[in-house]
Amino acid sequence: MNKGVREERELVKILDRLGFAVLRAPASGSRTRLDRPDLLAGRKGFIVALEVKTTSRETLYLGEESVAQLLRFSRRFGAKPFLAVKFKRRRKGWLLVEAEGLKRTGKGFKLTLREALRRGLTPEALVTGKLENMFA
């Protein structure tokens, strides 16, 4: 089993414990021509599409197409698009950052640890009434 699958499954378990129904899409992202997020999770009508990434560095770089696929899928499905990121050396756990508003680079997007800490939400924050109302 590759590392990415293990990380995705860890996040699936967290979301499941929080009361979400979760689907993991095998062969998602750049390995398929279909617009497909890594994870799709829903709870009481609140749906999130997640592109899952981990890094040992302080900056995560993302290809233009993986973000574009996430945004296209989310619009069609009616989901809120998030980048689920784990900065492994920082031991901060998972942070969910809205995919809209990522900083552009020449060939895609970047997300720094500082930006993720400022803008990101913990998975637990998804189940607060305040957040659910924001996206209703």
Cα–Cα distance for residue pair 98/113, rounded to 1 Å = 14
Q: Which of 28, 30, 56, 66 is catalytic?
A: 28
Respond yes or no: is residue 66 known to be catalytic.
Answer: no
Residue 53 CB-density burial (10 A; 0-12 exposed, 13-18 middle, 19+ buried): buried
Closest C-alpha to 5, from 73, 54, 42: 54
State in Å, rounded, how far the first CA of the chain is from the last one.
Answer: 37
As beta bridge partners, residue 54 has 86
Q: Catalytic site residues?
A: 28
